[in-house]
Amino acid sequence: MLPVPELIPEHKLLSESEAKKVAAKFNARLEDFPKILSSDPQAVKLGAEPGQLIEIKRNDDGNKYLYYRYVVKG
């Protein structure tokens, strides 16, 4: 059995105010978050534009946690 049975986790586009809250929580700038390209299939699906933040619901052995990716042009 593979450790991550579900290949594509749930992606959610965050609004500007939500993104600011997340950045404040981690005491970081938005540009410091891991990136996702705007041409990425999941980003295209959400209609994300460069400068926005995407929230990803990851699953680690049953423990749910959130991961964030900052949309960059590409």
Partner 1 sequence: MEKNEKSANKYGIAYGEAVGTVAAQSLGEPTTQMVLGSLHQAGIKTIVTTTGLPRMMEIADARKKPKSPMMIIHFDPKISKDYEKIRAIRYKLEEVRLSQLIEGYEEDFRTGSMVIKLDKAKLAVYEITPKRIMNALELKGTVETALVDNATIKVKAKRAKSESQAAASESKIKHYRITFISVLSTVVSGIPGIIKAVIDMYEDNAFYIKTAGSNMEEAMKIEGVDKWNIRSNDPFEVMKVYGIEAARNTIANEMYEAITTNGANVNFRHMSLLADTMTYAGHISSVGRHGVAGEKRSVFARAAFEETVKHFVNASVFGEHDLLTGVSENILIGKQIGVGTGRVRLSVKKDDLQKLKRAAEKAEKK
User: Rule CB under 8 A: which residues touch partner 1?
Assistant: 2-4, 6-9, 11, 34-37, 40-43, 56, 60-61, 69, 72, 74
Beta carbon of residue 20, minimum distance to partner 1 (angstroms, whole number):
21
Taking the C-alpha atoms of residue 57 and residue 49, their distance in angstroms, rounded to an integer, is: 20
Nearest-approach distance from CB 48 to partner 1, in angstroms = 11
Q: Which is nearer to partner 1, 8 or 24 (CB)?
A: 8
Let me know: does 54 contact 43? Beta carbons within 8 Å: yes
Amino acid at 54: I
